[in-house]
Structure 1
Amino acid sequence: MTLAAPLAVERIDTGDTAWLLAATALVLLMTPGLALFYGGMVRTKSVLNMLMMSFVSIALVTVVWLAAGYSLAFGDDIGGGIIGGLEHAGMSGLGPDSVHGTVPTLLFATFQLTFAIITAALVSGAIADRAKFGAWLLFVPVWALLVYVPVAHWVWGPGGWILERLGALDFAGGLPVEIVSGASGLALCLVLGPRLGFKKDAMRPHNLPMVMLGAGLLWFGWFGFNAGSALGANGLAAAAFLNTLAAGCTGLLGWLFVEQKRDGHPTTLGSASGAVAGLVAITPSCGSISLLGALVVGLAAGTVCSYAVGWKFRLNYDDSLDVVGVHLVGGVIGTLLIGVFAVESMTDGPEGLLYGGGLAQLGKQLVAVLAVGTYAFLVTYGIGKLIDKTVGLRASEDQEYTGLDLTVHAETAYDHGVLGHGAPVTASVLPSAQKVKPQA
């Protein structure tokens, strides 16, 4: 599937437009869903901060995208497949009659905006509990322009080198969304260092029903994410929709199987994480592989990611909410397995190893994974270091110990979680020197 080039006959199809309007709303809903998913996974003292990091990403990325991001990602290539031009800066030249394929260009631009938003929000999970909120406000727009936008152009933009020169496939965002967010999250958590008490204190999710609700909203929105990427109400959208459902299911089952075998207990957190892992992996491949392939991709992701989330304890990087273990690892699995399971009936050409295509497509997928992962990690690390050296990226020890909700936002999600009774709490109640140990 090629998001970059409009179809030969450019006229608005009302059915395609109606579906993409719905899909755009579904993808936007994923960011509030992610906020709940992440919010339930942190301790009581940082719930609101986690929610805020997702919600503020909607506003920040939208402004950047409308100002220049869309044009740089989907404008005509000006840099050898590296970046687009600024002919549509400020959305200039894109009126209501402008058409991309069979949908209005303004709708296509908005649909792509929702992808950029959730990618930024995903990164926040790697640095939960310890990042300055003000630094996050600075990081997001800079990161969106320097990391997300160029990769989106490589993968989907007209003339993008991964799409048109390398020939790697990515239907709905394994490279610019999953691998970029995972590699960026790894870079930032290395810049910040581990949380206070990492590998010593219990840092369990404080609200598993919230986690499950967030996962359910993500799964619901993912149908717009993947099936919407067909840019039309057609058979390809239907196939991507079914593949998405199937992979989420096998991802959930794979994770629970590992938990039962390894720990003796299948958990609610595991079921939510497994479903997300399967959905992550099917994102790049849902429009390239058969239903059987989707079942295998989801199962592989749920199984491997359930082990990958534990790597942080052995390698000593504090990826707070497992962005690396789920999104980077799951994105790599799904992107690479296109080279194994791609079928001509879905791709209109390229085939995977199991369908007579040899190793060629697998090699292309591997090059794309390495290039995007390396670029996202290095540039994000540089941005993080620059912010850390100038305004500071990490919250103070007092703020981290007391909790970012109270010390940064002057609010608490649960009054009893701070003082043990229902009285309203403000930041002035607790001087910075006074440390109150909240509930885990």
Structure 2
Amino acid sequence: VAAELALQDTQDISASRKGKASALTPKTDEEIAFELVAEEARSILTHTRELTFARSLDDALRADHHIIGEVLRANEVARSDREYAFALSQGRASPSTSTSDALPKAVGRQVPSLRLTRFSQTTSPDGTSYSLVIQGPADLYKIEVSDHDHVQLVSVISTSWCCRQEMCTFCREQTNGTVVRAPCGHFWDTDCLADLFRAATTDESLFPPRCCQQPFILKDVQHHLGAELLRAFNTIAVEFGTANRVYCHRPTCSAFICSATETSTVQLCRACLAQTCGRCKKRAHVGTPCATDDAPILALAEQEGWARCPGCKHLVELTQGCYHIKCRCRKQFCYLCAETWKNCTCPQWDEQMLLTTARDRVERDLPAGRPAPPVARLQEMVTQAAERLRVDHECQHWWTYRSGAGQCEHCSYFLPKFLLRCQRCSMYACVRCSRNRL
């Protein structure tokens, strides 16, 4: 009550002061004090509402825990019976137990283990309502709460959505806990999903986090990430979403500041308070023109035949035959003219590099321990591989596992145990690149 009265008083006083000063006039100490009082009152009211809601939800769950327990037990019966029938249909030995008799009965008033996985709030003229998704040992339960006094178990969400046993497409292990279905249909263990989002905060080539070129929808998976990782991801999303970026000129800081400016402007680093020029990205130089320190590097790039990304301005080097460049900033352009890909008339590949790539892949796939084929046959195999690369230079990869050590052709990472091999273009790639980069 005291917080509500204090908030009402500050709002009345603020309303009575409107229109009496210019919008450019700095706030007085008294006005700042009123704002602080109002902010503190709002914080107290929010905390009170959340505490009331938590107590109401706790009381409701304690009162209805036996209903949830019975639903849990019924689902376990159905799951066990399904496994029993599936084993019989395949001619395997049936499980030793398959009916509800083998399942434990509800004991006393024991509350099943529950975990809040999703929470949303909706405000309308009728009041505030809440929607929760609570995970039990097997299923998800959707609960709706309105006006802090009415709690209703709306539905039991199918286990096939979140809790069924699936193979994680990244680590290739069976999961017994929560899994997330990617937009492409593959299943991800929540730990592997969190690792992907964590890696995307430091490696721009993984941003936005995706599977089979389809980005994850953040609002659908954010409750699996944790508050700290979600905060870090949202912060880096602003940086990676900026095309031409300005970073702090101090090597010991290098914090992201803003987007580059067309004229020389002073940009303040929030991390170390150093001043950086928004145009040349060097130390701020008020009253003097921008330096041209990049000229030697650009001259070297021209000499070596490197290209510059029109999006992020990074230098790139062609290592394979196709002139189609996909920069880590996701910009796709022609290596020869830097025009957006498919908007120019340049050739699609470097002939010599194409033959080199084809020869490398043919020689790599030759059976170990056997004599090399005749020169004429080897040259024919190289020519055929080069033709496949010409036709399928934008291959929609079809990956299969290949045991043995090798190097990923995309990120150059060496893996000691296995790689993935595309059955169409014979490219070798690691799991990270195959799922999240290519």
Normalised-by-shorter TM-score class: under 0.3
Between 1 and 2, higher relative CO (CA 8 Å, sep ≥ 6) is seen in 1
* Structure with the higher helix share, 1 or 2: 1
Q: Which has the larger Rg? A: 2
Structure 1-normalised TM-score?
A: 0.18
Structure 2-normalised TM-score?
A: 0.19
* Structure with the higher strand share, 1 or 2: 2
